[in-house]
Chains A and B, each alone.
Chain A
Amino acid sequence: MKVAYWPGCVSRGFTPELHGSMARVAPLLDIELVELDRACCTGAGVIAEHNQELADTLNARTFALAQAVEGAEMMMNICSTCQGAQSECQERLDANSEYRAHVNASLAGEGLSYEKGLTNKNFLWLLVEEIGLDELRAKVKRPLTNLKVGPFYGCYIVRPRARLGIDEEHPRDNYLDLVIDALGGEVIEYAGMRKCCGFPIITMNKQASLKQAGRHLGDALDADADCLVTPCPLCHLNLDLQQPLAEGVVGRELGMPVLHLPQLVGLALGLEPKELGLNRHVVRPTSVIDWSTSVIAAASGA
């Protein structure tokens, strides 16, 4: 399937391995990515906090660009925070025709216009709803046998439920569990799996921010997880990049590898760890990968 692809900023900045691994995984899943390289940042909620109309207009511009991609079935993103920020703006734009017309008037100079009803799915949702778990299972070349994976969803992709289309028919707040299972891994449930990584307040209250990251990593460790997987690069920043600092705040060694969702999928589909950028994480994923053979192994200590 062809999608208008919004990679986000951080996947091209501090977590380049995310953008790279998505590009590797997409062809294996028959996803054609048409990158929205003209679109700007979603604002991650901060621009909406600064000026709601500005955030809505910038995102309406992105939506309009996505709608202009010929043959694209929908828009796809690889960032929970992008999903949440875009869904919030889309909710307002779709709910009120007068407001939408007002926002579109600002875009008219570029010849752009957003039409109500764009479908915008995070890679996780697309994986389950468009590709399907059976199809995914059939494509697995190297099942994650014995690998204990803790899902870390990220707030923006699980709340608020109504805005994100989460209901009994679409249990999107459970999809990460389903995907880990389909890839042959073991799902590890732990207290922090749907909690906040703390990243949004890293510059405002660093202690509280790192305490959140450290606690969830510790909970996952106590629940015997080999690694975590997340669909959110911002969560990845606090959980992986900042993990050495989080260890100091919670006063324990953590050493918990955190994988991006496309990396976990890619490993199971047979890609090599290096192609997926797994060598570029701050916390070495030694518990996930036996580097000599590239075969996924359970924790060496187990």
Chain B
Amino acid sequence: MAETHERPPEPFTLRLRRYDPESGEAPYWDEHTVELEPHRSVLEAILQARDRFDGSIGVRCSCRQAICGSCGIRVNGEPALACHTHLDAAKRGARAGVIEIEPMGNMPVIKDLIVDMDSVHWKKIRRVTPWLLAKQPVPEREYIVPRESMVDVTQTMACIQCGACVSDCLAMEVDPGFIGPAALAKAYRFVGDPRDDQQFERLNDLAQDQQGIFDCTHCFKCVEACPKGVNPMGQIMRLRRVATADHHIVDKNNGERHEKAFASLIRENGLLWEAELLPRSYGGNSWFGKFAPPAGKELLSSLPAIVKALMRGKVTPMGALKPHKIPAADLRSVRALYDKIEGRKERYELNLYIAGEDEAPSQPAAGAAAQQAPSSGEASAPAQAEPEVGASL
């Protein structure tokens, strides 16, 4: 970035999505060319366009240093903080050199680049009870908790509520009631907090809700969208893990059954057996599970696809009835790994957001690194994997 400071102002063309629902007019595109140094932000360009060419451009901003979360927009189709996106970078990612600016998605537009965060984002945040439900009796002074137990939730605490992840959530696109990445990351902030008294209740609530933790499609959009590295999808996976592994919550959305069926099929065969995964996900892991009413109902509703697949020879009856397996000796090894790792008292989990990378690229001999003594990484961030908080409670 340092070298760009020296560069003189140059022209940047913005293509702005304009829309005023109160006007009765359809949305349209507006183009303005501003002159700014390349290291300046997209926000500065929008503000200059507003000051010089059209005072009616609607944009929301406050701190201008990527901490208040007010200026979430879409730049060239990707979510971004306007104040945190350099003009030269935006231009590099633009079609024909024109930077495309739109309001965030999944939320109604109030005017131009301003979306209604209240009706979507903040409602969803309130949905997860975003405050501490403290253990009683409340101590007279502060809570004393081990430092390590709070490190775990710092990643979710980095959220600035900009709504970028909500804007891009693909599950919400087809299912607007999905609680969504920002709110569920916030939920983990309290689920992972050792001072909170309602871990089970919170998780049970979010697991039983059809638009809760099991409605996430695992598309990584929120991971990519977040300007603060919160990794909302990762937090949703942790919520699922604590709900299923620690609390054994069996939800009516098949979330727990699906995870269990998947993990056990790999343990049994080494490879996935799709024809068995479905009935187990609906009816549970026992052999009789496939005769459970939900499994039968699912089979019936899927008949059109199944019949076609059989007719076309895509799936043969033998292929469906017999699993693929890895060789017996390897299967034994895989099962031994399952037994060893699942048998641990505490899950061993590495969060790179907290642990960081222990090997700087300048360090010598990457190949030999595997043989290094355990203390080798101490100069950088703590290299120890934090045991999951949920497990230690």
Contact = CB atoms under 8 A, between A and B. Distances in A.
B349 A52 contact: yes
A116 B367 contact: yes
Interface in B195-250: 210-211, 214-221, 223-224, 237, 240-241, 244-245
A155 interface: yes
Contacts, number: 258
Interface of B: 92, 170-171, 173-175, 178, 210-211, 214-221, 223-224, 237, 240-241, 244-245, 253-255, 258-260, 262-263, 266, 270-275, 278, 281-282, 298, 301-302, 304-305, 308-309, 312-315, 319, 324, 326-327, 330, 333-334, 336-338, 340-342, 344, 347-350, 352, 355-359, 366-367, 369-372, 374, 376-377, 383-385
B369 A97 contact: yes
18 contacts: A9-B274, A13-B273, A14-B275, A41-B272, A45-B218, A46-B263, A53-B344, A54-B342, A97-B383, A98-B358, A102-B348, A196-B170, A196-B217, A204-B254, A205-B214, A208-B175, A212-B173, A245-B305
A41 B357 contact: no
A153 to B, nearest CB: 11
Interface string A76-104: 00000000100000011001111111101
B308 to A, nearest CB: 5
Contacts of A84: 220
Interface residues of A, number: 83
Contacts of A51: 241, 245, 263, 341-342, 347
B377 A155 contact: no
A109 B372 CA distance: 20
Interface of A: 9-10, 12-17, 37-41, 43-54, 56-58, 61, 84, 91-92, 95-102, 104, 106-107, 109-110, 113-117, 155-156, 159-161, 168, 195-196, 198, 200-201, 203-209, 211-212, 215, 237, 241-245, 248, 279-282, 284
A204 B304 contact: no
Contacts of A100: 369-370
B355 to A, nearest CB: 6
Contacts of A215: 174
Nearest to B263: A50
Contacts of B340: 106
Contacts of B356: 95
Nearest to A249: B174
A168 B384 CA distance: 34
Nearest to A117: B366
